Chain A
C-alpha cells in the first residue's frame, strides 16, 4: 500500500519569503513516480512536476525547486520569493510504475496563503 503525508495543513507567508512544503511517502514498490500538483481556487489540479524513483537529482524550475531524498522518503517543494499568485493548495502524489498508468495516491494537501 502507498501513503503520502503532508503534515503542514496550512502555511501563511508574506510575499517574497521562501517557503518549503513537506512531503513524506510510504511505498513497498521499488519503482514509482512522485508528483506535485497545484490546486488554485478554481478547482482544477495543475501539474507541476514528476520525478521517478531512480533519479534523485534535485530540480529547479524558475522560483520552484524540488528536493527528492530516497533515504528519508521525502520529496519537498520550495518556492523562492513567493508571490500572491502562489496562493493555492498544493498536493504531493505517488504512483507505482508497475500499474502502467497513473493510479495516483495523494496527500491531504498544504494550503499556502501568500499575503502582500
Chain B
C-alpha cells in the first residue's frame, strides 16, 4: 500500500491475555519505529529497527513487551500478560533510512488502539 498499515485498528482484550499488533511499513523503508500514545499524551518511543535488527529497544517498558521484524519489512509488537496500564494507541512509523539524510520525515500509521479490560 501507499502508506504505513497497522492491524488491527482496534483490539479489546482481557487482563492477562497475549496480544500481537502488526505493522506493514512503506515498501523500501529500512527504518521502522514503534511508539505508544496514552490518552492525552504525546507518543513515547518504544523500539527502533534498522533492517531486521532492533537497533534500540530502550523504550520497551518491561520484558512483557517484545517486537520482531524477521524479514526486514513487516513488524509485530507482542505484549504478554497484558495489564490495564498497557491500554494505549500503538503507533508504527517508517522512514527510508534511519539517519537524517533525507528530510527526516517519519511516516506514521493510524495506530492500533489497545484496550485491556
Contacts and interface: CB of A to CB of B under 8 A. Distances in A.
Interface of A: 4, 33, 35, 37, 42-47, 50, 91, 93, 97, 99-109
B56 A103 contact: yes
B22 to A, nearest CB: 16
Given A44-B91, A101-B31, 12 more contacts: A4-B42, A43-B89, A44-B108, A45-B106, A97-B100, A101-B50, A101-B56, A102-B48, A102-B98, A106-B42, A106-B43, A109-B42
A33 B104 contact: yes
B110 interface: yes
Interface residues of B, number: 32
Nearest to A97: B100
A43 B42 CA distance: 12
Interface in B82-114: 89, 91, 93, 95, 98-100, 103-111
A47 to B, nearest CB: 4
B105 A43 contact: no
B109 A44 contact: yes
Given A99-B56, A101-B98, A101-B99, A50 B105 contact: yes
22 contacts: A37-B108, A43-B89, A43-B91, A43-B110, A43-B111, A44-B3, A44-B108, A44-B109, A45-B93, A47-B105, A50-B103, A50-B104, A91-B43, A100-B98, A101-B50, A102-B33, A102-B98, A102-B106, A103-B59, A106-B43, A108-B41, A109-B42
In the A-B complex, the 9 residue pairs with the smallest Cβ-Cβ separation, listed nearest first, are: A106-B42, A45-B108, A101-B98, A47-B105, A50-B104, A43-B110, A44-B110, A44-B108, A43-B111
B110 A42 contact: yes
